[in-house]
Amino acid sequence: MSFYRTLFCMFISILGCLAPLNAQVLLPDPVAPRGTAGVLTQPLEIKAQKVAVAIEDNVAKTTIEWTFYNQYNRRIEGTFYLPLPQSAVIKDFEMDINGRRTPAELLNAGKANKIYEDIVRRMVDPALLEYQAAGLIKARIFPIEPRSTKVVALSYRHPLPKPGTFHEYHLALNKGKQPMHFQFEADIKNKQPLQTLYAPNFTFSETHHSDHHWSASLNETHFSPQHDLRLYLAYRKDDLGVDLLTHAENGENTFMLRLTPNLDRDGPQPAKDLLFVMDTSGSMAGEKLEQAKRALRFCLANLGRDDRFAIVTFATETNRLSDTWLQNSDANQTRAKQFVADIRALGGTNLEEALDRVNDMPKASDRPMMVMLLSDGHPTIGSREPDPLVAKVEAAAGKRIFVLGIGLKTHTLLLDRIAEKSAATSFHVLPEEDLEIKISDLYRHIQYPVLSDVRFECRGVTLSAVHPKKIADLFAGQPLTLLGRFSGHGRADFRIHGTSAGKTHTFNYQLDFSQSNHHDFLPRLWAQRRIAFLLENYRKGDSEVEEEITKLARRYGIVTPFTAYLIIEDIAETPPASESRPVSSTRREHAPSPMRDLRGTQGRSNVEAVKRMAEMQESDQVADGYLAMPAPKPAGDDEAKIDRKDTANTTSQQAVRFIQGRAFYQRGAVWQDAFWPKADKAKQKIVELQYGSDAWWRLWRKNPSLAGILSLGPEVQFTFEKQLYQITR
């Protein structure tokens, strides 16, 4: 069988300067005659991929190891191809096949282009379009025996490019293929102190060995990525680090600004006043109260040397540890611990009197005052209406009230309004979550305030639709990400103003708002934040924002618990794969919008909805770009709704893809972009092109930027420069 030759196409990206990896497949040799008997065309299975990256002073050495499995009953031979652009700088290139050093040949872009184009023409693999004009490394693969594995390892070294103020590591991944075991480890060392390690699509386990040495790892046994792996590294330059990424596409400019307050933990810690206000009504009795008390002891034990504190409990009435602020002394710590030990749960919920006690505590001019308010129910004593209670918060100017709503009976809208009016944040804890951990996490979040009453201005470019809308405080170790749009380009003067220890500070930065097109995750990340902001307004009664929510969700393919039903409408009535489950018309008629849960005030569905919306507003991660069809529920089921957990774990159908500033929806075998008109509105002439025809190639050669869209496959409908195009087989 040795005369049956095949081709391994495995594409990696060497950071910003290499073409992205899009496929690892087994294809016929491009020089084999068309129709040769016995040529295999099915993908060779990848059992595992292991990646080890060592980055030292912005030079990365990457070692990738693939374990391939020959699932056929015949021996396979082939050629390993690695696409490289001419600009790539490669050192220490090594290649091993089952532990043996294998020679490799570097082909120039001209020879490489011929191979790419031949594969596209013969094998209907449009993904290779994205590698045109790239160089190529070629190495012979010796036979793989039937039903056996072959390990291929590759090592290369290259400098990290620097888009804006970040250094970027980019490892393209085999998206949409068979799940595999994936391991990734990065060891990062630098002479400058590290400040930020940011990955927009993945959550790593991080270890900070020192300011100059960090590591990150990821280990998943059933890995099927939807995005390339990108790491952005930034280094400490000032007390307040500011790092910028931009993306420009389709006439729209998006930016991400990451603010990282730094703290010298060996120096004096910023002093603060901290007031603990805890609901001790009868509904708090039992393990819930014991968890809260343990967490309160943790907070007291971790106060700063110059901090002051006070404790208020409220049930039918309030009880105070003291009428004034207490210094963090041993004597006061002992007194506070005894007060906590004596707390009992009994009575109603007098939130009005608790807020009066907050107003009683004086706000010092030289330090921030923060309140941690814990409550597990609706007010039952005193004022019960939201407006007068929120008015009390407005009177407490400068006092940040961080709210922790516990359980399913809290008045979520009231608690969120209290936090918002005090320029703080609210959190909600479900019954199955550990209250002690949640309280401790909240305290760690606000433990080191660095800058208060923050505001910013930008001169040279115009910023718009920035989220979050308000920045009240910056805390050490808590990076804050701003996402928004901008007009204009070039150098800009960015200034941040705030107060610390009673003094006003201004930080000046010169930032380059260049119109880069290399960070296509930014528009979707911004759209997530924008949708979350609009949902918050919808929750407060503004129904006019629903149209903008719908428009953004459909354009960017934002699949959330609140917009999934919008996306369902844009996906094919006939699913593209036999194993996919259709959505019945009965289900659509009887499935109410999950957005209804936002306007409730209590209950599991409401609390879960509010928690998810809060996660959207704060997340720096791009949401999943796919939606698998959930199984229909019986007609008449009042609780029928899109099950986010079900859809997130079902990857047999990738129905939404985001490419070049828009979502593409899979309608049967056709990928259709979000701007494609409905059938009854398609009055514009459609240009039809057969995949692989001379006209198809001319369109691609004239507009190389269409490579990402044309790479979707042989059946695509899209708009380009106000013209409708339909690609057919």
User: b/e per residue, 166-191, with b = 16+ CB within 10 A?
Assistant: bbbbbbbbbbebeebebbbbbbbebe
Tell me the HSE value of 44 on the side-chain side, using a 13 A CA sphere: 34
Listed in sequence order, the residues at least 6 apart from 210 whose beta carbon sits closer than 8 Å to its beta carbon are none
**At 727, which helix (H) or strand (E)?**
strand 723-728
pLDDT (average), residues 8-24: 32
Phi, then psi, of 487 in degrees rounded to 5: -120, 150
Average pLDDT, the chain: 76
pLDDT band at 680 (very low <50, low <70, confident <90, very high): low
The whole-number average pLDDT for the span 177-181 is 80
Contact predicate 654/666, CB 8 Å:
yes
Highest mean pLDDT among 181-185, 239-243, 682-686: 181-185
The pLDDT tens digits of the residues spanning 396-406 come to 778 899 998 88
With tokens 């009230």, the residue in question is: 401
Give the model's pLDDT for residue 623.
Answer: 60
pLDDT at 25: 36
Strand segments, DSSP code E, in 205-327 are: 205-210, 213-223, 229-235, 240-249, 252-261, 273-279, 308-314, 318-320, 326-327
Q: In sequence order, which residues have a C-beta less than 8 Å from that of residue 696 and are 6 or more positions away?
A: 689, 690, 710, 727
Whether the predicted pLDDT of 341 surpasses 90: yes
Q: Say which amino acid occupies 490.
A: G
Q: Determine the Cα–Cα distance for residues 372 and 310; give it in Å rounded to an integer.
A: 11
Angle among Cα 447, 193, 62 to the nearest 5 degrees reads 120
Confidence tier at 263 by pLDDT (50, 70, 90): low
Confidence of residue 545 (pLDDT cuts 50, 70, 90): confident
Angle at 123 between CA 122 and CA 125, to 5 degrees: 125
> 322 falls in which pLDDT band (50, 70, 90)?
very high
Task: Give the CA distances from residue 373 to residues 278, 280, 427, in Å, rounded to whole numbers and listed in that order.
Answer: 6, 12, 10
Find out whether the peptide bond into 468 is cis, omega within 30 degrees of 0: yes
pLDDT mean over 519-523: 86
Between these two residues, 357 and 683, which has the higher pLDDT value?
357
pLDDT at 495: 93
Q: Within 10 Å of residue 14's Cβ, how many Cβ atoms?
A: 27
Residue type, 15: L
Is the pLDDT at 466 greater than 50? The verdict is yes
Q: Is the pLDDT of residue 3 over 50?
A: no
- Residue pair 708/130 in contact (Cβ under 8 Å)? The answer is yes
Residue % of the chain over a pLDDT of 90? 21
Predicted confidence band of residue 611 (pLDDT cuts 50, 70, 90) = confident
As a whole number, mean pLDDT of residues 488-495 equals 90
Q: 84 falls in which pLDDT band (50, 70, 90)?
A: low
Other beta carbons within 10 angstroms of residue 277's beta carbon come to: 24
Q: Give start and end residues of each alpha helix (H) in 540-631.
A: 546-556, 564-569, 585-590, 604-618
Q: Per residue in 91-147, pLDDT tens?
A: 556 667 777 777 666 666 677 667 767 766 665 456 556 555 556 666 666 677 888
What pLDDT score was predicted for residue 80?
67
CB atoms within 10 A of CB 686: 12
> Which pLDDT value is given to residue 598?
63
By the 10 Å C-beta count (0-12 exposed, 13-18 middle, 19+ buried), 583 is classed as: buried
pLDDT attached to residue 354: 93
* pLDDT of the residue at 213: 94
pLDDT in tens, 692-711: 888 998 898 888 878 888 88
Q: Which residue has the higher pLDDT, 728 or 604?
A: 728
pLDDT at residue number 273: 94
Say how far residue 484 (Cα) sits from the centre of its chain.
15
Please, which residues bridge with residue 492 across strands?
511
Q: What pLDDT was estimated at residue 558?
A: 78
Instruction: Look at residue 588 and tell me whether its pLDDT is greater than 70.
Output: no
d(CA 729, CA 691): 5
Domains delineated in the chain: 5-235 (2.60.40.1730), 240-266+453-516 (2.60.40.1230), 273-447 (3.40.50.410), 522-655 (no CATH), 676-729 (no CATH)
Q: What residues pair up with 153 in beta bridges, in sequence order?
A: 65, 96
pLDDT higher than threshold 70 for residue 587 = no
The confidence score (pLDDT) of residue 314 equals 94
Residues whose CB falls within 8 Å of the CB of residue 394, separated by 6 or more in sequence, listed in order? 421
pLDDT at 546 (0 to 100): 83
For the full predicted model, state whether its pTM sits above 0.85. no
**Which residues, listed in sequence order, are joined to residue 313 by a DSSP beta bridge?**
278, 319
For residue 133, what pLDDT is reported? 55
Which residue has better confidence, 54 or 66?
A: 54
Provide the pLDDT for residue 624.
Answer: 54
How many angstroms separate the Cα of 81 from the Cα of each of 2, 7, 99, 319? 19, 8, 18, 73
